[in-house]
Amino acid sequence: MIFDQAIIEEGVGLTVIGMGTAFTLLVVLMAVVMLVGRLSRVASGKVSAGVASRPDEPVADARDKALAAVVAVGAVLEVGASADTLGGDSG
């Protein structure tokens, strides 16, 4: 089987263009990801500095209240489930 020289040259040229395009796009994508990472790091530094300047007690109080609410709801649901399985709710 004999291949035409023009077809081989066109195939090699298209292969090089395709691989070059893919490699270039991957490098651009890598650069974008690195840039977003650096911007995120800078932004998080500014945000954490702003949060650190405020007192932490209101945040801790809110967290404790949220935890207490979760525990209370879980207890109520557990008591309700226990009453249903024992037949205590004959309604």
pLDDT tens digits, one per residue of 24-82: 999 999 999 999 999 998 888 876 655 555 556 777 788 888 889 988 998 888 887 77
Q: Which one has a higher pLDDT value, 90 or 27? A: 27
Give the three-class secondary structure for 4.
Answer: coil
CA distance 42 to 48: 10
CA distance 91 to 89: 5
Q: Is the pLDDT of residue 6 over 50?
A: yes
Structure confidence at residue 87 (pLDDT): 61
Assess whether pLDDT exceeds 60 at residue 91.
Answer: no
pLDDT the model gives residue 58: 79
User: Got the DSSP string for 47-69?
Assistant: HHHHHHHS-SHHHHHHHHHHHHH
